[in-house]
């Protein structure tokens, strides 16, 4: 990706430069969307559903999604389960360890907004988006495997619409 990572720098300067690279965009997006390797990271109940989705019946592999144990090798992080204050800083570290481009799916009520532990709990973080950016939210407690799949398809849609011209501004943030 040596050359490709420099492209956005030149694109910025040329007005309408995005037109030049639409085909490359398509190829890159296609390849990214079709092999989303996800990090095996689950904290609570939703992780069991994530495991089920990865296993025999629902079979994530047909979307080209394979689990990796290390954040360095993964493109996608499912925040599956409750994140407590104690865990929040670790989630942030994990997110920062992932190589760009990286995506996050907040799975389950807990990751979205604290879920059943919103009230009366002194330990639970109320929404993972307070710590890291989230691409797709999947509500449910736990979401069924089908809705998890749906969420992944939505993420793929999102990736397909990405433009190379947006990259540099993205990483500048």
33, 94, 104, 107: which one binds other proteins (CB under 8 A): 94
Contact at 8 Å (CB) between 105 and 79?
Answer: yes
7, 111, 124, 148: which one binds other proteins (CB under 8 A): 124
47, 79, 105, 159: which one binds other proteins (CB under 8 A): 47
**122 interface partner picked from ligand SF4, other proteins, none, CB below 5 to 8 A per type:** other proteins
Q: Which stretch binds other proteins (CB under 8 A): 16-24, 114-122, 155-163, 165-173?
A: 114-122
Alpha-carbon gap, residue 173 to 46, rounded angstroms: 31
Minimum CB separation of residue 52 from other proteins in Å reads: 6
**55 interface partner picked from ligand SF4, other proteins, none, CB below 5 to 8 A per type:** other proteins
Question: Which 3-state string (H, E, C) describes the chain?
Answer: CHHHHHHHHHHHHCCCHHHHHHHHHHHHHHHHHHCCCEECCECCHHHHHHHHHHCCCCCHHHHCCCEECCHHHCCEEEEECCCEHHHHHHHHHHHHHCCCCCEEEEEHHHHHHCHHHCCCCCCECCCHHHCCCCCEEECCCCCCHHHHHHHHHHHHHHHHCCCHHHHHHHHHC
Minimum CB separation of residue 141 from ligand SF4 in Å reads: 3
74 binds other proteins (CB under 8 A): no
**113 interface partner picked from ligand SF4, other proteins, none, CB below 5 to 8 A per type:** none
Contacts to other proteins by CB under 8 A: 39-45, 47-49, 51-52, 55-57, 69, 71, 81-82, 84-87, 90, 94, 116-124, 126, 141-142, 144
């Amino acid at each position: 990706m040596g050359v490709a990572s420099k492209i956005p720098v030149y694109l910025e300067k040329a007005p309408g430069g995005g037109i030049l690279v639409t085909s490359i965009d398509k190829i890159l997006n296609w390849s990214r969307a079709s092999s989303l390797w996800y990090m095996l990271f689950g904290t609570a109940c939703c992780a069991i559903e994530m495991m089920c989705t990865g296993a025999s019946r629902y079979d994530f592999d047909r979307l080209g999604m394979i689990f990796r144990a290390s954040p360095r090798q993964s493109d996608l992080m499912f925040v599956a389960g409750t994140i407590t204050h104690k865990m929040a800083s670790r989630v942030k570290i994990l997110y920062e360890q992932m190589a760009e481009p990286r995506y996050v799916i907040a799975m389950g009520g807990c990751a979205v907004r604290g879920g059943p532990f919103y009230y009366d709990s002194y330990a639970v973080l109320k929404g993972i988006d307070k710590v890291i950016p989230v691409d797709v939210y999947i509500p449910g407690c736990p979401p069924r495997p089908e809705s998890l799949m749906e969420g992944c398809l939505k993420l793929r849609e999102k990736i397909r619409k990405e433009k190379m011209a947006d990259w540099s501004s993205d990483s500048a943030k």
